[in-house]
Structure 1
Amino acid sequence: MVLTWQDGAMPRFIAPLLAGATYARWLHLLIGWVFAGVVLMIYPGTYRKGLAEILAQSVAVDAVLLALVALVPAMRRAEGVQARLLLVPDREEDIAAEPSRTWADRRRTAAWLIGRVALGTVTGFASVAVLTAVYALLTGSDTAFAGLRLPHALGRFWRPLTAPVLLFGYGWLVVWAGRLQLAMAIGLLSPSPAERLAEAELRAERLLERNRLARELHDSIGHALTVTVLQAGAAREVGDPAFAAKALEVIEETGRRAMDDLERTLVLLREAPDGTATENPGVEHLSSLFDTARAAGNPVDASIDVPAGVLPGVLSRESYRIVQEGLTNALKYAPGELVSVRIAVRDGRLELRCANLLRNDSRARGGSSARGAAPGGRGGKGLRGIRERAILLGGEATAGSAGTAGTAGRSGGGAGPGEWVLAVRLPLRLGS
């Protein structure tokens, strides 16, 4: 198959010569040549000196000067940003844009600067020589560069035909010089192992933060919607104006707390520096959560044996969310049943237990939800979120019927009413 320009394709030996990346890299090469030329004009100069002497002194001066400049930490960042813009790498992450932090970074930066200027100088001199030769070929003059003249063997007929060939060869010289410069940048300006590790840790932290925000939204908004739906349904069924007024009051209060939770989450998403939202709720705010559950029709028997100031802030906040999810499950699957909540500190661990009686029509929750899937395939994210919270805090969480809560993967079994238990154990010292 023959590719033609009309087909939208271009021969492989022509396409690189017309690519924008080639000319961006050419500009990057010429910057190194201009630097060498400026230094040469200042010192050692060219007056009454031979070419060999000029080159020897220029190389020595440039190498020393570039090595000293590479000691400045910001130089690595400046070179990385410039290389990303002009060398057009396939992936910008292959070239670091961070300041030097170690002596190894400084040594690599020095090698990059010296190699860049050297390659750029060769390319720059080649550019002038080729353009001079092309001018001489097209005009028939004997114009020379650096003492080099065109051979007289080229007749008048061949000179104009030789110019395009010379330009074509020079174009490919620029293409390969740019590719070599890019390879040098990736080899010498690439992120160090420490930087790659820091980047990986940052990505992991961002992923964990996203998961945490998802859990926050699921727990707080899910709880609020559950209470709202139950209260609205009960008010419609009962038909008592006094009961309806109380239900509306509970819905209003629950919605207000959900809006506060949503505002806190949005502040985190927007990374607002002032943090205008209210403080995250902790164990001390559980009483209002219990009142909401009682107003929804589920009696709550709560016992909180936690001395003041014992719980770290993160444990207090996570405990609130865990109890909130336990109450939400009880409201969903065992409406009207007693919910028992026990929170205590024993042997250097925080123990949370949320239990409620199961009705006959909701006993499947003990097995399937314990494995992370609610009846009918809906939900289960709350229990998975609780386990994730517990694992991140160095603890453990189990959920299931009273006989299997310790092995939260097996079904409850039996025919009569049973008790469903959510048990969480967290160390007071994080990471232990």
Structure 2
Amino acid sequence: MPRIFAPLLSAATYARWLHLAAGWIFAGVVLMIYPGTSTHGLGGILLRAVPVDVALLVIAALLPAMRRAEGVQARLLLMPEREQDIAAEPARSWADRRRTAVWLTGRVTLGSLVGMASILVPAAAFDLLTGPAPQIAGRRLPTGDGPTWYPLLVPVLLFGFGWLVVWAGRLQLAMAVRLLGPSPAERLAAAEERAERLLERNLLARELHDSIGHALTVTVLQAGAARAVGDREFVAKALEVIEETGRQAMEDLERTLVLLRDTAGAGGGAAAGSGTGGHPGGAAGDHRERPGLAQLPALLDTARSAGSPVEARIDLPPGQLPGVLSREGYRIVQEGITNALKYAPGEPISIRIALREGRLELRCANALRTAGPSRSSPRRGGKGLRGVRERAVLLGGEASAGPEGGEWVLTVRVPLRLGA
């Protein structure tokens, strides 16, 4: 029972009824002002007024703003489950105008039928209740010997009319979604925008993971070493490294938050928070540039100060590496060093960076620890390695990581693309 009566009491039903009535009003105005409709029967009225209605609706549909006005009105009164199902944009193509013309014609037709029922049904219910000779649509009902049972038809009549309005409103909503909904091109653009927003959030999350994760790893190792050694000079050096690492992490965090605010303020557009090649770090107004491979010496010194010997060989001709590769390469090496410090503290780290056959190759290796509380783990499910692979794929390259001959080796190869 609640399922039967709930739609009749829903606010959406009456809002949609109002939307249907607006279409009926348009048809009624044409009937009142078009000459000759008052002297003809129903058939003559339809033959004279319907072509005029259709012609006026088609002309109105040619206006780009009409589609937007109808979309706004449909969103407000038809109450779709998702507003995105009904577009509120002006017509941009002839296909949009054709769909708008079909929508207007269907809306007025359905609204006229429901509008006439909205007059005839209450009038018939009133006659059944009060008339000495009850009538429905101008036809007198036979009274016979027992006319008193006719008032019992009133609830049935009103119930049927209520469900007519419910189904007409649902049909109107389905028409709006079909004819006023986004076009295939608009749906594709919206999907691309959502994918771009997701990619932007993933990039920012990866930046925070790499930067803050490295800073915390170095800080924990330095603090633990300082407590274990107890030498005043070593403690002072460790505190200096912790301070510098924390300052760099704060700058990275602030830069990432600026990019996040810019992206949110621009509605997720790529131009607001993207650097060169769609990567964060190149937004206008950001006075701190993301670190690149030129800043590797400071990164390597940080690893050495944490107690891990680092041997690096960097073979990069000056001026031949695009900025995006330099920045992403720095983050990849940083993640490799962070993993080495986390899983094999104190073990030697080997870094190799070179340009070979039009590709940038990065290799970060560290000796596997086989004993002790910090024994190396496989590290296959970490977010850092997954982020490295994502960076490599976005740059058109590949990444691999795993044990090789007593070492844990991270290798990344990406194509060299000038101007990327």
Instruction: Please tell me the TM-score bracket, short chain as reference.
Output: 0.7 to 0.9
Aligned residues: 398
Tell me the amino acid that sits aligned with residue 21 of structure 1: A
Q: Deviation at 1:251?
A: 0.8
Map 1:255-404; keep pairs closer than 5 Å.
255-270=246-261, 271=263, 272=265, 276=286, 278-361=288-371, 365=376, 368-369=378-379, 372-373=380-381, 380-401=382-403, 404=404
**Out of 406, 412, 417, which is 1:424 matched to?**
412
Q: Which of the numbers 50, 70, 75 marks the counterpart of 1:59?
A: 50
Q: CA offset at residue 50 of structure 1?
A: 5.0
Q: Any residues of structure 2 matched to 1:27-46 within 5 Å, and which?
A: 27-44=18-35, 46=37
User: Which piece of structure 1 moves more, 159-168 or 392-401?
Assistant: 159-168
Alpha-carbon distance in 2 for matches of 1:118, 1:193: 27
Structure 1 residue 393 displacement after superposition: 1.4
Q: Which letter maps to 2:327?
A: R
User: Residue in 2 aligned with 1:7?
Assistant: none
Deviates more, 1:39-48 or 1:237-246: 39-48
Q: Give distance in 2, aligned partners of 1:95 and 1:138.
A: 43
2:133 & 2:260 partners in 1: Cα distance?
A: 70
Q: Is the 8 A contact 2:392 2:399 kept in 1?
A: yes
Structure-1 separation of matches of 2:21 and 2:92: 29
- The answer to whether residue 142 in structure 2 is matched with residue 153 in structure 1 is yes
- Output the amino acid matched with 2:188: L
List gaps (5 residues or longer) in structure 2. Answer: 266-271, 273-283
2:142 maps to amino acid:
A
Instruction: Determine the C-alpha separation between the residues in 1 that align with 2:396 and 2:114.
Output: 60
Q: Distance in 1 between matches of 2:16 and 2:24?
A: 13
Q: In 1, distance between residues paired with 2:311 and 2:33?
A: 87
Structure 1 gaps of 5+ residues are 1-9, 374-379, 405-411, 413-417
Post-superposition Cα deviations, 1:11-61, rounded to whole Å, max 9, x if no partner, equal: 544333222222222111111112223344444575655544433333222
Identity %: 70
Q: Distance in 2 between matches of 1:227 and 1:58?
A: 82
In structure 1, the residue matched to 2:180 is: 189
Do the aligned residues in 2 keep the contact of 1:393 with 1:430 (CA within 8 Å)?
no
> Cα RMSD between the aligned structures?
3.2
Tell me if structure 2 keeps the 8 A contact 1:44–1:57.
no
For 2:186 and 2:257, how far apart are their aligned partners in 1?
30
Alpha-carbon distance change, 339 to 105 in structure 1, aligned in 2, over 3 angstroms: same
Distance 1:56 1:199, change over 3 A: same
Query: 1:4 matched to which residue of 2?
Result: none
Does residue 1:103 correspond to 2:91, yes or no?
Answer: no
Which stretch has the larger CA shift, 280-289 or 381-390? 280-289
Question: Which residue of structure 1 lines up, in the alignment, with residue 5 of structure 2?
Answer: 14
Q: CA deviation at 1:97?
A: 4.1
User: What is the CA distance between 1:200 and its match in structure 2?
Assistant: 3.1
Q: 1:174 aligns with which of 165, 170, 176?
A: 165
More moved, 56-65 vs 303-312: 303-312
Q: 1:114 to 1:234 in 2, by over 3 A?
A: same
Alpha-carbon offset, residue 123 of structure 1: 0.8
Aligned-partner residue type, residue 355 of structure 1: A
- Deviation, 1:387, is 1.2
Cα pair distance change 1:51/1:142, threshold 3 Å:
farther
Q: Matched residues in 2 for 1:141 and 1:242: separation? A: 112
Whether the aligned pair in 2 keeps the contact of 1:70 and 1:109 (CA below 8 Å) is yes
Letter in 1 for 2:392: A
Q: Is the 8 A contact 1:267 1:277 kept in 2?
A: no
Measured in 1, the distance between the counterparts of 2:376 and 2:96 equals: 58
Distance 1:252 1:263 in 2: 16
* Bigger mean CA deviation after superposition, 124-133 or 227-236: 124-133
Aligned partners of 1:219 and 1:324 also within 8 Å = yes
Distance, in Å, in 1 between the alignment partners of 2:383 and 2:368 is 20
Check 1:101–1:397 CA distance in 2 against 1; reply closer, same or farther (3 A cut).
same
